[in-house]
Amino acid sequence: MSVVIGGVEPFTTVDFPGRLAAVFFCLGCTWRCPYCHNPELQPFSGMPVVEWDKIVEFLESRKKLLDGIVFSGGEPLWQDGLADAMKQVKAMGFDVGLHTAGADAARLEKVLPLVDWIGFDIKVPFEFYDRRIPNAKGEEALKSLRAILKSGVEFEARTTLDPRLISVSELRELAHMIADAGVKTYALQEYRPHPTHETPPSAEDISAFFRDKALLSELNDLFSNFIVRRA
């Protein structure tokens, strides 16, 4: 199985809505979001990995205890064996969740029929991806969003608010764009500093989005389900 798992969270109630789940953290991501909270998962190799045999043993032992498995990362879409791994997980009776930024729209389209729920990260307005995030591709992310919308798979769009990457007016523009496109569930996530982050924003700048009541009220009106997640 060519899915490289760098770690497992054996139990979560928050990463897959409505399910008791475990999270498999796939190794590898080529993008370099300055707020990445799992930078140790960015390299594709050189980190300890959990062999697939151990993953299967884990799945066997959790058959009656968990409802679902979330493939997270890193960026799971870089994994050649993602579809096969999801098929195996599904065949063992688990629902499949996916956390992704949509870095490879073609692979996403391939796995969509296997996925029961997606947490889809939207970083900034799509036209700014390539300029603001090293190696990121806005066109690919937008294609991925369109594919998810077309598929009808349940999903949450979410944006981590790093004031170095996005302004209040850009967030407003992004929220209107995705609401118009058909996104129903949207979450704002507060930036959390990580020891590896260079020149993190100030606490005041981080919280500015959440102090802006007019902004939050406007976004609340745009989506059937609007979620604010403070760190």
CA gap 222, 156 in Å, rounded: 14
User: Does position 31 bind ligand SF4 by CB under 6 A?
Assistant: yes
Binding track over 94-113 against ligand SF4, x by CB under 6 A: -------x------------
User: How, if at all, do strands 117-121 and 95-100 pair?
Assistant: parallel
Burial 158-167 (b: 16+ CB within 10 A, else e): bbbbbbebbe
Kindly tell me which of 191 and 209 has the beta carbon lying closer to ligand SF4.
191
Binding residue for ligand SF4 (CB under 6 A) from 1, 12, 38, 194? Answer: 38
Say whether residue 75 binds ligand SF4 (CB under 6 A).
Answer: yes
Among 21, 29, 122, 145, binds ligand SF4 (CB under 6 A): 29
Name which of 147, 136, 146 is nearest 101 in CA terms: 136
191 binds ligand SF4 (CB under 6 A): no
**Which member of 7, 68, 74, 201 binds ligand SF4 (CB under 6 A)?**
74
Give Cβ neighbours of residue 104 (< 8 Å, ≥ 6 apart).
77, 78, 140, 144
Name, in order, each residue with C-beta under 8 angstroms of 74's C-beta and a sequence gap of 6 or more: 6, 25, 26, 27, 28, 29, 38, 41, 42
Total residues contacting ligand SF4 by CB under 6 A comes to 11
Shortest distance, position 75 Cβ to ligand SF4, whole Å: 5
**Could you tell me the smallest distance in angstroms from the CB atom of residue 229 to ligand SF4?**
15
Smallest distance, Å, CB 33 to ligand SF4?
3
The least CB distance from residue 217 to ligand SF4, in Å, is: 28
**Which residues contact ligand SF4 by CB under 6 A?**
29, 31-33, 36, 38, 42, 73-75, 101
